[in-house]
Structure 1
Amino acid sequence: MKISIIKPGLLSTVQDLGRYRYLSQAVPVSGAMDELAHRLANKAVGNDDNDATIEFTYADASFKAETDILVAYSGDGAFLFYNDQVMPAEKPLFFPAGSVIKLIHNAIGVRTYLAIAGGWDVPDVMESKSTYLTADFGGFKGRILQKADVLIGGTTISEASQEILKELIHRSLTYPNWRISRESLLPEKRQNIRVVLGNEIGWFDAASIISFLTNSYTVDRRSNRMGYHLSGKPLVRKVKKELLSTAVTPGIIQVTGSGDLIILMADCQTTGGYPRIAHVAAVDLPLCAQLKPGNTIHFSEISSDEAEELFLEREQDLSLITTAISLKYIKT
């Protein structure tokens, strides 16, 4: 399966779930910003969750199917259009060779993930296909996608993908009558970001902690895949000492010297010297991934046990989705 890029969009890269085994060597995790949407797009075509997808940012992109293709998309950043008809998300879509597909921006979010049966075939770099643009490695030639780029799907296709393809293959667009309900896996209030208080919470005075958990913050224009800068009431430190550079991961919320907040995201550094006031619960990181400048959010505290329980519940739901698709298509 093969596509060619007609219009690449603002920032389109190949991503998987990231590279975690090289943090000690100062290599960021990278990977899909919205892991949930990435995983659901893969599940919809019978892929492994870690297979590479294309991450489109703000859409305004298009591509041509150079061969028959089986794809799926997920995320709040775009709608897929074919012949001026919007395509349903989170379900397998069969397009015949020659089809031109457009991604039109969805004002709700930022990022959209396109999976193809077998995953996108790009080299593994440090055990991951994720693009890390700062160092120019991973993904498709270590860079953003450009006009006329040709991307190929992997040749190893799962049994589920093969059965889905057999069901849908036709001379025209086809898709099944089922879809994965991404909405059921997300909280109703998407502006509420749940956090676990961090290691240096005691460095801030009581008024600042209350302010952090009650006031709203706005995402500003400096935000990118490395981190989101938030505008709001600055926090005041009661402990004036400096923090030795220490380990950080995506989801940590740092407080700068001026009292402003930064939510670290997929391409963040592996160590940092700003105090860590909190950490975004893993289940809410997909909400952060869809934030854009001007969006307003607020934080609510949960315990580490609650964050773990929420994570395990979602993982169980995702496992059930995989099982349901397997039972539907794989003969026993």
Structure 2
Amino acid sequence: MKISIMKPGLLSTVQDLGRYGYLSQAVPVAGAMDQLSHRLANKAVGNDDDLATIEFTYAGASFKAETDVLLAYSGDGAFLVYNEELMPAEKPLFFCASSIIKLIANPIGVRTYLAVAGGWSVPNVMGSKSTYLTAGFGGLKGRALQKGDVLGNGNELNLVSAGIKDQLIKNELIFPNWRISRESLLPHNRQTLRVVLANEINWFDATSIISFLTKSYNVDRRSNRMGYHLVGKPLMRKVKRELLSTAVTPGIIQVTGSGDLVILMADCQTTGGYPRIAHIAAVDLPLCAQLKPGDEIRFSEISQDEAEELYLEREHDLALITTAISLKYIR
């Protein structure tokens, strides 16, 4: 299964669930910004969650099926269009060779993930296929996709993927009558991000902490895969000392010397010297990945136990989805 890139869009890269085990060597995790959408696109074609997808930023991209292909997409950055018809998300899509598929704008979010049955084939670098643009490695030659690039799937189809493909071909369908409900896996209020207060929370005065948890912030245009700068009321420290560089991970919210907030994202550095006021709950990081410049957000405090419970509940739901799809196609 192969596609060729006709228009790469603003920023399109190959990503998986990330590159772990190299933080001590200053190599970020990288990987899909919206890991939920990445995983759902993979599940819809019967893949394991960690197989590579293409992460499209916004719309304006298009590609051609060089062979028959079994694809799925998920995310809020774009809709897939074939023959002037919107293709549904979170379900398998079968396209014949020579089909041309476009991505048109979805005003809700930023990023969309395209999975192929068997996963996109690019070299493993440090145990991952994720593109890390800053250092120029991973993905396809360590860079964003370009016009003329050809990508194919890297593995023979497993039983689930083969079953999906065979059923669609047999019934001459582009897609089946089922889909994964991504909406049921996301909170109703997508503008409020749940956070666990972090190590240096006591460095800030009470007024600033109250402001952090009650006032709104807007995403600044200086935001990318490394981090999101937020515009809002600056936070004031009551502790004047500086923090020695310490470990940071995606989801950490740092406070700069001027009192501004930065949410660290997938390509963030491995250490940082700004105080950490909070950490976004893992289940809400996919919401961050879909934030656009100008979007308004708020923060709501939860406990570490609550964050873990929410994470485990979602993982349980995702496991049920995998089981349901498998049972449908493996007899």
1:193 has 2:193 as partner: yes
- Measure, in 1, the Cα distance between the counterparts of 2:151 and 2:130: 15
Q: What SS does structure 1 have at the residue aligned with 2:42?
A: helix
The one-letter code sitting in structure 1 at the alignment partner of 2:151 is L
Q: Is 2:26 the partner of 1:11?
A: no
1:205 matches 2:205: yes
Any stretches of 5+ residues in structure 2 without a counterpart? none
CA distance in 1, matches of 2:169, 2:131: 31
Equivalent in the alignment of 1:52: 52
User: What residue in structure 2 maps to residue 75 of structure 1?
Assistant: 75
The percent of aligned pairs where both chains have the same amino acid is 80
- Matched position secondary structure for 1:135: coil
Q: Give the deviation of 1:172 after TM superposition.
A: 6.2
Gaps of at least 5 residues in structure 1 are: none
| Aligned amino acid, residue 113 of structure 1 | Y
In structure 1, distance between residues paired with 2:224 and 2:172: 38
Matches within 5 A, 1:200-279: 200-279=200-279
CA deviation vs aligned residue, 1:247-292 (integer Å, no higher than 9, x gap): 0000000000000000000000000000000000000000000001
Query: What number of residue pairs does the alignment pair up?
Result: 331
Structure 1: distance between partners of 2:173 and 2:103: 16
The alpha carbon displacement at 1:158 in A equals 1.4
- Secondary structure in 2 matching 1:211: helix
Q: Return closer, same or farther for 1:171/1:146 CA change in 2, 3 Å cut-off.
A: farther
SS of the residue corresponding to residue 134 of structure 2 reads helix
What does residue 113 of structure 2 align with?
113
Superposition misfits of 4+ residues, deviation over 6 angstroms: none
Q: Do the aligned partners of 1:96 and 1:171 also contact (CA within 8 Å) in 2?
A: no
The TM-score with structure 1 as length reference comes to 0.99
2:176 is paired with a residue of what secondary structure? Answer: coil
Q: Distance in 1 between matches of 2:92 and 2:146?
A: 25
1:283 aligns with 2:270: no
Deviation at 1:171, TM superposition (A): 9.9
Residue 309 of structure 1 deviates from its aligned partner by 0.1
Q: Which residue of 2 aligns with 1:150?
A: 150
Please say if 1:126 is aligned against 2:126: yes
Alpha-carbon distance in structure 2 between the residues aligned to 1:22 and 1:155: 26
Distance 2:322 2:132 in 1: 29
Which residue does the alignment assign to 1:165?
165
Instruction: Supply the AA of the counterpart residue of 1:289.
Output: A
Contact 1:80 1:86 (C-alpha < 8 Å) held by counterparts: yes
Instruction: Give me the whole-angstrom Cα distance separating, in 1, the residues matched to 2:324 and 2:251.
Output: 31
- Please tell me the residue identity of whatever aligns with 1:73: Y
Provide the residue aligned with 1:32 in structure 2.
Answer: 32
Q: CA deviation at 1:155?
A: 2.7
The letter for the 1-side match of 2:96 is P
Structure 2: distance between partners of 1:56 and 1:173: 26
CA distance in 1, matches of 2:163, 2:52: 20
Q: What is the CA distance between 1:174 and its match in structure 2?
A: 1.4
Superposition TM-score, scaled by structure 2 size? 0.99
Residue 94 of structure 1 corresponds to 94
Contact 1:204–1:238 (8 Å) recurs in 2: yes
Q: Deviations over 1:39-63 (max 9, x none)?
A: 0000000000000000000111000
Q: For 1:131-170, what per-residue CA distance to the aligned partner results, in whole angstroms no more than 9, with x for missing partners?
A: 0000000001100000010001113221100111110126
Distance 1:191 1:269 in 2: 26
Letter in 2 for 1:108: I
Q: Is the 8 A contact 1:95 1:173 kept in 2?
A: no
Q: Matches of 2:299 and 2:141 in 1, distance apart?
A: 38
Deviation at 1:20, TM superposition (A): 1.4
